[in-house]
Amino acid sequence: MNTDLEEFIKTESKEGGKLDFKNTVEKYDGAFIAFDKVLYNKKDFTILMWGAAVNQTGIKDFEKAQLLWEEINHRKLTEPELKALKKGVETKLQ
């Protein structure tokens, strides 16, 4: 994996970074966000957005994205979070 790219993702995933979507998602009303006919809670949708952004940045491999997320957040992803991340990595954002 490109270490410069990895370092960029780690840095920008911190609070306030370009890959921190917590504040973006918190602006939505309601507890769930519908995306591609699936309802996500805000936490999982944040992970989906992160996955899509990481894909756009250059990490196309789901397993690499998962390992990177878990390293950044110091914990394993839950099953719903894994599904959200997979969807995000597979999603093409404009």
Specify the pLDDT at position 28.
87
Asked which of 4-8, 9-13, 47-51, 90-94 is least confident by mean pLDDT, the reply is: 90-94
pLDDT at position 3: 86
> Can you name the residues that pair with 62 across neighbouring β-strands?
none
Beta strands, E only, 1-94 = 32-35, 38-41
Show the tokens assigned to 72: 């950044």
Residue 35, classed as helix, strand or coil, is strand
Task: Indicate the pTM of the whole model.
Answer: 0.93
Which token pair is 59? 């990490």
Query: Does residue 1 have a pLDDT over 70?
Result: no
> Could you read off the pLDDT of 47-90 as tens digits, one per residue?
999 999 999 999 999 999 999 999 999 999 999 999 999 999 99
Bridge partners of residue 38, in order along the sequence: 35
What is the Cα–Cα distance from 81 to 94, expressed in whole angstroms? 23
